[in-house]
């Protein structure tokens, strides 16, 4: 007969390794604070610094459950620089934020940013679709978001 302790021993090792790998996937407090600093830099119109903070966070924490926030920040920073060369990267960052996020508010904000990009490029149907996704992801109180509703009307 086989000792039952021996048969379950590998399960303990696998469980330990799994838990250890999960711990490696989460960002440290320092990393989270650096991302918060990135949002502060964005608010202060320091777009290069905000983009750098987001890029570093993405590189160090690619499997963090909150990685979508970093992609959203990097998209905002790229878009806010105003350079045409930054727009494709910003759009990709917003799309990645949408794909990786479980937060309805973040999905709504990223869809709105993509909608604004499409609107500015006179891609009316694409902008309309993105604005509707934004409203559907996280409807504002009473369903009223003046900016999005105005832009939907303009697209139509």
**pLDDT tens, position by position, 116-134:** 999 999 999 999 999 999 9
- CB-CB contact of 153 with 132 (8 Å): no
For residue 48, which of 95, 80, 91, 71 has the smallest C-alpha distance? 80
| pLDDT per residue as tens digits for the range 34-70 | 999 999 999 999 999 999 999 999 999 999 999 999 9
DSSP 3-state helix, strand, coil percentages of the chain (rounded to 5)? 80, 0, 20
User: pLDDT value at position 27?
Assistant: 72
Look up residue 22 and give its two tokens: 């999960």
pLDDT tier, 31 (very low <50, low <70, confident <90, very high otherwise): confident
């Amino acid at each position: 007969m086989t000792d039952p302790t021996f048969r379950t021993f590998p399960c303990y090792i696998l469980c330990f390794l799994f838990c250890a790998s999960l711990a490696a996937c989460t960002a440290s407090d320092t990393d989270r604070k650096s991302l918060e600093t990135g949002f502060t830099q964005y608010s202060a119109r320091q777009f290069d610094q905000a983009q750098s903070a987001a890029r570093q966070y993405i590189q160090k924490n690619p499997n963090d459950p909150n990685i979508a926030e970093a992609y959203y920040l990097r998209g905002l920073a790229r878009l806010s620089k105003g350079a045409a060369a930054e727009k494709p990267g910003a759009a990709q960052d917003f799309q990645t934020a949408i794909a990786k996020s479980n937060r309805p508010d973040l999905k709504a904000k990223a869809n709105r940013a993509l909608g604004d990009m499409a609107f500015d490029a006179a891609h009316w149907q694409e902008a309309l679709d993105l604005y509707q996704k934004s409203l559907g992801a996280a409807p504002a109180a009473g369903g009223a978001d003046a900016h999005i509703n105005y832009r939907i009307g303009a697209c139509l």
